[in-house]
Amino acid sequence: FTIELVFRFVVLRCKLFQARLNWIDIVAVFSSLLEWMLSDAPVNASVFRLVRVARLARGLAFMKLAKVQQSLNILVKCLTASMNTLFWTLCLLTMVQVVVGMACSQAAHAYIKNLNNPEDKRHELYRYFGTFSRVFVSMFEIHMANWATPCRIFMESVGEYYGSVIVFYRCAIGFSLMNV
């Protein structure tokens, strides 16, 4: 950024200081240089990094183009029109996750409370299905991310039957709610 700013100054000279967006670059470069010089000093550098983020505002200059504005306007209208559907889909997904999560938590509770079961397995099962917040995150993980890990832990601890139930739940609810 520093080299780019120097080149712009050589080409534009005083005109560089007339554009407001160039001032963002100037502040970002000087704050970066100041951070670099004070790297050993006990100064919080996050403020300087935030100034660099302001440099992204220069990218908004391309928004003045008519074609870009028209395309962006269509996208914004589509997103605005789908907000109602998105809200109700998220409400339904949350409700289904809570209900199935409570059922999983109840099934895991008996295994976790039984002192005859291995302690490491009980702790691992508790980490995924022990409390409401943990089971809610696990259900979200089953929907959005790596569903195999919570499924295998539940299957190996509570029983193989529950593994097939989670796979069926992932396929049925995941595909119907998430891929619509």
Kindly give the confidence (pLDDT) of every residue in the chain, 180 residues in length, as a single tens digit, with 9 standing for 90 and above. Answer: 678 878 888 888 778 778 777 777 777 777 777 777 776 655 565 665 666 666 665 566 555 665 667 777 788 888 888 888 889 888 988 898 899 889 889 988 989 998 998 999 999 999 999 889 999 998 888 888 788 888 888 888 888 888 888 888 888 877 776 665
Burial class (CB in 10 A: 0-12, 13-18, 19+), 108: buried
Contacts of 147 (CB under 8 A, 6+ apart): 141, 166, 170, 174
Kindly state the tokens that stand for 127: 């980490």
CA 139 centroid distance within chain: 16
* Distances in whole angstroms, Cα of residue 68 to Cα of each of 21, 59, 75, 81: 20, 12, 11, 20
pTM here is 0.56
pLDDT of residue 42: 59
Nearest to 2 by CA among 30, 24, 23, 22: 30
